[in-house]
Each structure stands twice: as C-alpha cells, then as structure tokens.
Structure 1
Amino acid sequence: MSANTDAAELRELLGYVNNCWDEERRALSRQMHDSLGSSLTALTMHLGLLTAKLPQEPALLDRAAQMKNLLHNIIEANRGMQHKLWNDKLEFLGLRVALGELVAQFGAEHLVKAHCSLPDDEPACPRAHRVVLLRAAEEGLRNVATHARASKVDVIVDDMEDSIALVVKDDGIGLRPPTVADGDWQEHHGLRMIRERAIFLGGSLLLAANGNQGAMLTVTLPKPPTS
C-alpha cells in the first residue's frame, strides 16, 4: 500500500471521526438544553414562589437572594457550555447570524475592532461546510486573541459560484517563521484539525502573512455539484 493511499485512508477516517464528534457534541448540547436547562428554569420559578412566601426577615431574604444569584450563574454557565459544544444559531439561523454574533462577541470581549463582511444571502452549501467555516473562524479568532496582539480583526466570507471561502485577518505581530504555510503545524493543533477537515471536503487551509503586518487565515471549500 502506497504512502498516498495510507494518507487518503487516514484522512477519510479522520473525516468520519470528526463528523461523529460533531453529532455527539450536538446531541449533548441539545440534551443539556432540554433537560438541565429546563430543570434550572423550573428551580428558578420555584425559588421565586418560595421567596414570596417567606417572612420578611433580612437574613432569610438575603439567603434567598444568594440562592437566586447562584442559580443564575449556573444557568449562564450551562448556556456557555452548550454554546461551546454546538452553536445552535448555525443550525437554526444560519452561518451569517452565527458568524456575525461570534465576531461581535469577540470584539466586545477582547476590546478590539472586529468587523464581519458577509454575503447578502445565506450561502448555499452543506451543513458540513458551514460547520468547518464556523470552526475555522472560532479557531482563527482564538489564535488572534492568544498570539497576535492585534487591534483590528476582519472576518470575510466570499460566496462564489463553485466554492466558498472564509478569511480571518488581523493587524498583529505576524507569524513566527517557519509558518503553518511552510508545513510547521506543531504549535497549531486546532488549525491542523481544521485543515484536515477542509482537505477531507476537498478544500484547503492556508495561514500566511497579511502583507507587512499581521496574519491571514484562509479556508476555501468547493461546493458540491448541484443536481
């Protein structure tokens, strides 16, 4: 068996594992929403009713307020974990909404100018493509926050007739040679996984310098032929 055949089989296996992983994450996120989330909401309602019946003693009311605050924090933590497991906005509202909110939240959290340029219409591509593009944007922004020291980041989606491309570019300190484009993926495990997923779908991932300053991550995926 040739090395090329081995690599193709390993890539196919990795693509299958990633798809299974996505489905497991999606199912777990939905279970957390339907079961844990509804139970926590019910607890909050019961606590409100119970608080209304309590004697108006400061110590009791203070303890009830602490319990309400604790429940609120648990609900928010549960929502955050659900979102990390699977972004339901991608499923129900589409790639444009999911990316737009991701970039806006990133800018607010990291105090950088974050801009998202999206097509007017929702891209017509399979869910697997949308998942890879969203994961690529998440990983690209994570690297910007960790390494780039950037003051500005742009996320751009170019929806073409035969392919769709996502670009994440920043004005930070740039890449340390050798870059991922040169084949050094040892410190970029997240990007390596996205790269393998892109290749599995027939596409590519490139991380290169953004002119004289910053870095640019580009993921390009071919669209399957329409029947």
Structure 2
Amino acid sequence: MQSHPGSQVAVSEEKRRRPSWLILSLGFGGLLTCIVVAAVGTLAALDRVRSNEVHSRKMFLERLSALDQIRAQIYLSGTYVRDFLLSPDPLTAQAQAAHLGPLERDTHNAIEAYRRNLEPEEREPFLALRKEIEAYWQVLDTTVGWTQQDRDRLRFSFFYNELVPRRTAMLQIADRIALVNERGLTRSEGQSASAAGNLRRYLMLTFAGTLGGGLILALVTIAFTLRLERELELRRSDLQELSTLLLRAQENERRALARELHDEIGQSLSAILMETEGAECAERRADLSSHLDSIKGLAEKTVNQVRDLALLLRPSMLDDLGLAPALNWHARETSKRTGLNVVVSADDAIDDLPDEHRTCIYRLVQEAVNNAVRHANARTVDVSVRKEGHKVNVTVRDNGAGFDTRFLRGLGLLGMEERVRRLGGRLKITSEPGRGTLVHAALPLSDLEKRNGHEADSYLVG
C-alpha cells in the first residue's frame, strides 16, 4: 500500500508508557518502603537501646539497694549484739536478742534478691559474702544463748576479737561487690553508647541510600518527563501535519468535484440545452425524434454520473441496506472498474453496528482497497469483517508490492489512524517490500462517551 514520505510512525505510545510508569511506580514504592523500613528499624533500635539502658540502671539500683540493706542490717545487728552483751538486765538483754531474728530474715531476703540479679563478674565475691554472712549469723545465734555470767565473762573478747573483724570483712566484701556492680553499670553504659553509635551509622547509611535512591528517581522522572514532552511535541507535529494534509485533501476533493461537475455534468447539461434548442427548431418529425432521443441519452448519462458521484461521496446503501451490502457493492465496482479480484467476507451481525463504526469500517476498507489498486499492483485483495465479543476485527490483505513502513506515510494511512483512534480502537499495518500488505483494525464496542475519551494504539509494523 502507498503512502507519501513523511515522519516515521512511532510504536504504540501506550506500550511505551507502561514500562516507564511501572519503573517509576516500583521506584517510588521501593523508596517509600525503604523509608518506612528505616523508620521502623530506627524506632525499634531506639526502643531496644532505651529498654537496655532502663533495664541496666534498674538492675544496678536494685543490687545497690540490696547491698545497702545488707550493710545496714550488719551494722544494726552489731548494735543489737553490743546492747545484748552490755545489758545488766536479763529482760532488756532478751529484748535486744529478739530483734536479731527478723533482722536475720531480712538479711537473707536481701541476699536472695541480689542473687536473682547477679552478674557473672560478681559471682565469686557474692559467694564469699554469703558465706561470711551465714557464718556471722551462726555466731550471733550462738551468742544470744549465753547466760549472764557468759556475757560478763566473754563480752569484750567476743566483741573485739569476733564481732568487729567479721563485720569488717563482710563490709569489705560488700564494697567489692559494689565496685563490681558499678563496673557493670559502666559496661552497660558503654554497650548503650556502642548501640547508639551503631544506630547513628545505620541512620547515616539509610539516609545515604534514601538520598541516592531519591536522586536516581528524580533523574528517571526528569528523563521520563522530557521524553513525554518530546512525544507531545511529536504528536503536535503529527496533528499539524495531519491538519495540513486534510486541508490539502479537502481542497483537492473540492477541485476534483468541481472539475467533475464542470467537465462531465456541466457539459452533459449544456448538450441537453443544445439538443433542446435543436428540437425547438426542427420542422420534421424525424428530426424532432432524433433530438429527443439524444436528450434522453444525455439525461440518462447525467443521472448515472450524479449517482456515481454521490456513491463516491457516501454510498446510500450504507444507510439503507447496511455495511455488508455496501462493502460487496464497493468490491464489485472496484473489480468491474480495475479487474482487481476483491473478496469480501463479512458477518451479518455487522449491520447492527453503530453508524460511526459502520462509516469507519467502510472508509478504512475503501482506502485500503484503493491503495492496493493505485500503488500496490495487487491481483487479489481479501477483506474480512468479523464481530467477536465486544469488538469488531477488520482485516484487509493484498498480495501487492508492499512498502517499508518505517519511511512511508501519507494522508490515507493518517486518515485510517485517526478514524480508528476516534473510536478507541487499535490499528496495525504490517508490510514489507515484495510481500504485500496487511491492515488490521480492532474496534471496541463501547459507549460513545467512553469511546470519545479513549486514545487508540496505531502503529506500523515492518
């Protein structure tokens, strides 16, 4: 099929846009996902650091409180034992000894509480402290059983040789544990500082990754926008070219119509006027009859010319009989006029199509067949129109010379594209030099409002 040289026909814009939109959607979605994941990870890391810090400080304070309680109870127990030993009154001594029982239970409870929060580094001094405390309370339990004579006799030696050294040893061990406990707190704070440093590095990496992804997406978006602007400019150029070609075709059609009216119909009417004048001047009946026969022949010829001209503009049978008869008539007329074998295969259901669809299909087939006649030197053209589901498939195939779809494009192809696009359809033209041409159009059967809002895919395939 023929086209005039022009700009290269682009591949379907909708097909080209989908991958770009997919890439942009995935990119922005991935960036947002990274930001959300980074935010969630940061909050989780902050929560872990805060929880670890709170837990470490809580454990330190609980152990410190237990040590302070143990120290206080050791000091208080020494005071009660001293008063017990120095009391001259048995009742008062018994009262002082009675304080030691609850104090011993509180000491053991404090030791057990400290054991539950014990750090590995504190195990050795803690075991030594517990051993000393147990021995200490065993000595005190023995001491409170002394009689008045035993107290008077042993009080000073027991106090200075037994009680004070044991109490001093226990307090020294408690101080060792407190020192280990402080080191544990320092170690926990160091771990918290290390976790905070890791969190900062994680945030820096996340920020760098997000910034890099954002820059890449910005560059992709800019490139995509520039490409869309170029495509829009090309489309505007195509529309301007089409408008120019349409105006030129309109003028050519008007010129051809005027020439047809002047050269054919005008001359026939002038001949009829001349024959009429000749009939008026005829004196013999035979001359009058000859003029009338000539007028009749000229009138019949004029009527046929007007009918052919009207059918070329728009066949009346397209409105009166339907699309299938109009296509068959056009095939017969083309075969009669050119000798080209045009075979039409059409469903009866296509006659129920909307008027716009019938007109589009007729003009598309008409243009494709005329191109095969004028430019392809084809011997056979097969036309197929089928209604399949919610669309109509139109196929025109010839066995002519074909053409290179990359470099040839003209008003006929542009007109077919615009007609199909206006109905929201898809036009595909496949051709190669020496292998004929295939024109395929798929027209959706949708509401007029929906059709007018769609843009069709229309492209040429070499």
TM-score (normalised: structure 2): 0.36
Residues 153 and 169 in structure 1, CA contact (< 8 A), matched pair in contact too: yes
User: Residues 139-218 of structure 1: matches in 2 within 5 Å?
Assistant: 139-173=367-401, 175-177=402-404, 179=405, 182=406, 184-185=408-409, 188-209=410-431, 213-218=435-440
Partner of 1:88: 316
Structure 2: distance between partners of 1:92 and 1:116? 19
User: Residues 61-140 of structure 1: matches in 2 within 5 Å?
Assistant: 61-140=289-368
Cα distance, 1:147–1:5 mapped onto 2, change above 3 Å: closer
Cα distance, 1:97–1:211 mapped onto 2, change above 3 Å: farther
Match of 1:224, SS?
coil
Cα distance, 1:210–1:218 mapped onto 2, change above 3 Å: farther
Residues 123 and 159 in structure 1, CA contact (< 8 A), matched pair in contact too: no
- In proportion to residue count, which structure has more strand? 1
Structure 2: distance between partners of 1:211 and 1:2? 34
**Which residue identity is paired with 2:403?**
R
Displacement of 1:56 after TM fit?
Answer: 6.2
Structure 2: distance between partners of 1:124 and 1:183? 38
Matched, 1:224 2:441: no
**Which residue identity is paired with 2:318?**
L
Aligned alpha-carbon RMSD (Å): 3.3
Q: Which runs of 5+ in 1 are unaligned?
A: 22-39
Match of 1:167, SS?
strand
Displacement of 1:196 after TM fit?
Answer: 0.9
Residues 403 and 431 in structure 2, CA contact (< 8 A), matched pair in contact too: no
Structure 2: distance between partners of 1:92 and 1:201? 23
Residues 403 and 432 in structure 2, CA contact (< 8 A), matched pair in contact too: no
Residues 170 and 210 in structure 1, CA contact (< 8 A), matched pair in contact too: no
TM-score (normalised: structure 1): 0.69
Structure 2: distance between partners of 1:84 and 1:151? 23
Residues 112 and 150 in structure 1, CA contact (< 8 A), matched pair in contact too: yes
Displacement of 1:195 after TM fit?
Answer: 0.8
Cα distance, 1:148–1:197 mapped onto 2, change above 3 Å: same
1:20-78 superposed Cα distances (whole Å, 9 cap, x missing partner):
x9xxxxxxxxxxxxxxxxxx9xx9xxx9xxx9xx9763322222211111111111111
Percent identity (aligned): 23
Displacement of 1:209 after TM fit?
Answer: 2.4
- In proportion to residue count, which structure has more helix? 2
1:81-100 superposed Cα distances (whole Å, 9 cap, x missing partner):
21122222111211111111
1:138-166 superposed Cα distances (whole Å, 9 cap, x missing partner):
10111011011111111110211121121
The alignment covers a number of residue pairs equal to 185
Displacement of 1:212 after TM fit?
Answer: 6.7
Residues 158 and 164 in structure 1, CA contact (< 8 A), matched pair in contact too: yes
Match of 1:122, SS?
helix
Residues 119 and 158 in structure 1, CA contact (< 8 A), matched pair in contact too: yes
Cα distance, 1:211–1:154 mapped onto 2, change above 3 Å: farther
